[in-house]
Structure 1
Amino acid sequence: MSSELFSQFLNGLAIDSFPLLNPTLSFKDYVALDLSINNIELQTIDVSSSEKLALYIANHIAKNNASVAYGGYLETRNIYNRSDYFNTSEEILQRNIHLGLDLWIASGTSIYSPLEGVVHSFKNNTNFGDYGPTIILQHDIQDSRFYTLYGHLSLSSIVNLKVGQKFNKGDEIATLGDASVNGDYPPHLHFQIIKDIQHYVGDYPGVCSKQDLEFYKHNCPNPNLVLKL
């Protein structure tokens, strides 16, 4: 399936998908958040500090009378500069372009499966700035197979999990972790759609370099095709 047809397919699934967060939240409870290098407000924020970034995000949510901040797909971000896991001496190879959609909300928040799927894999990715506990679901819908990734979860989310375990649409699959386990970030969900999982198990790049952007744009389409935020 071409990337264009895959995007159309995902767009069609949005009608019957279940919200990732509490379904009683309405669209007015969500506010867009820009964490890109283009946000001049961040020039005065130490984004390497999870505490200071958390305060900035909390203030943004409160100022907009919202409950959740969301965004980040294909944003170029400075936040990854703090970690050797993403850095390289060559600028074109530096991994700083975000491939998922983030939902910023309190730790312990329940995460629900938007579609029926089975556990492909899971892992605690413990590099500094990495996902922490991560779950990848495999979806086989209308003769098409794709994957969804859920990063920055709580440790308890993967304790009793099993590969092949089925989740129905709307089932709780995890809860969010805090900075002590989620790669040292303010609590949030990294949600990513993956067309071809390649050889990855319990992990998949959520941030890419400028050099690799074209491949990942096609393999990881905008999650908002399904979420419709």
Structure 2
Amino acid sequence: MVISIPSYLILDFSAANPDLATLDLTDTAVFSDYVFDKLRQANVLVGVGGYNEHRVIYRRSAHFQQTAEPREIHLGIDLWADAGTPVYAPLDGVVHSFQDNNNFGDYGPTIILEHQYAGKPLYSLYGHLSRLSLEGLYEGKPVKAGETIAEIGPYPENGNWPPHLHFQLMTDMLGLTGDFPGVCSLRDRDRYLAICPDPNLFLGIEGL
């Protein structure tokens, strides 16, 4: 398991959620209070969801509006939990790359691991980490399944989001290092989903 999930609530950040129209999502404190109030009301520790979800929350950041067609399709699964929550490697592998993607609404500190799965390369991305998570890393550093590799970061250092982990799988890095799109446009949806399989393959969360 990438993080410990003793209890969870599926969170919807698409236009189907009427709450989102009432919130100032550009105010990270307001956004964070909304997320963690939902978790407290449900008496759970983790919020989950988002793979292939057409989301409205990216309108809060110019980072996703830089092309002719805005990016609104989420390519990973989000695990909303307290800052400082440890993050574990799902498989043996090595550090492929890492960097601090320090823009409002971006990943913030990011780690990408490289694995072998079913005889082929598979990459896993961990976004919205603490800056401390990047210390001591180097490309090629070996990691073992179940090893603590990082922790969920606080805002604003995590890209200015309510604390959560963005977990994503890729079969092709497209030549990128330290970063990979976690959100795509409607036009590019099929192309990216073809190389970004459902991360629930390793999470096994019922209902997703």
| TM-score, normalising length: structure 1 | 0.86
Distance 2:152 2:19 in 1: 26
Superposition pairs of residues 48-127 of structure 1, within 5 angstroms? 48-88=26-66, 90=68, 93-127=69-103
Distance 1:34 1:79 in 2: 10
RMSD over aligned CA atoms reads 1.2
Identity of aligned residues (%): 45
Aligned residue number for residue 148 of structure 1: 124
Aligned match for 1:190, one of 158, 163, 166? 166
Secondary structure at the counterpart of residue 62 of structure 2: coil
CA change 1:94–1:166 in 2 (3 A) is same
Q: Unaligned regions of 5+ residues in structure 2, if any? A: none
* 1:31 is the counterpart of 2:9: yes
Q: Which runs of 4+ in 1 moved over 3 A?
A: none
Secondary structure at the counterpart of residue 148 of structure 1: strand
Distance 2:133 2:66 in 1: 32
Q: Which amino acid aligns with 2:70?
A: Q
Aligned residue number for residue 136 of structure 2: 160
TM-superposed CA distance for 1:209, in Å, is 0.4
Bigger fraction of residues in helix: 1
Distance 1:175 1:105 in 2: 10
TM-superposed CA distance for 1:63, in Å, is 1.5
Secondary structure at the counterpart of residue 40 of structure 2: helix
Distance 1:33 1:141 in 2: 29
Distance 1:82 1:35 in 2: 12
Aligned match for 1:204, one of 164, 168, 180? 180
Distance 1:76 1:173 in 2: 29
Q: Which amino acid aligns with 2:198?
A: N
Distance 2:122 2:162 in 1: 28
* 1:20 is the counterpart of 2:20: no
Q: Which amino acid aligns with 1:38?
A: A
Q: Which amino acid aligns with 2:115?
A: H
Instruction: Write the deviation string for residues 51-80 of structure 1: whole angstroms up to 9, x where unpaired.
Output: 111111111111111110010111222221
Point out the more displaced range, 48-57 or 208-217.
48-57
TM-superposed CA distance for 1:88, in Å, is 4.3
CA change 1:159–1:82 in 2 (3 A) is same
Matched pairs, number: 205
Secondary structure at the counterpart of residue 149 of structure 1: strand
TM-superposed CA distance for 1:141, in Å, is 2.9
Q: Unaligned regions of 5+ residues in structure 1, if any? A: 1-18
TM-superposed CA distance for 1:157, in Å, is 0.6
Larger Rg over CA atoms: 1
Quick check: 1:48–1:79 contact (8 Å CA) kept in 2? no
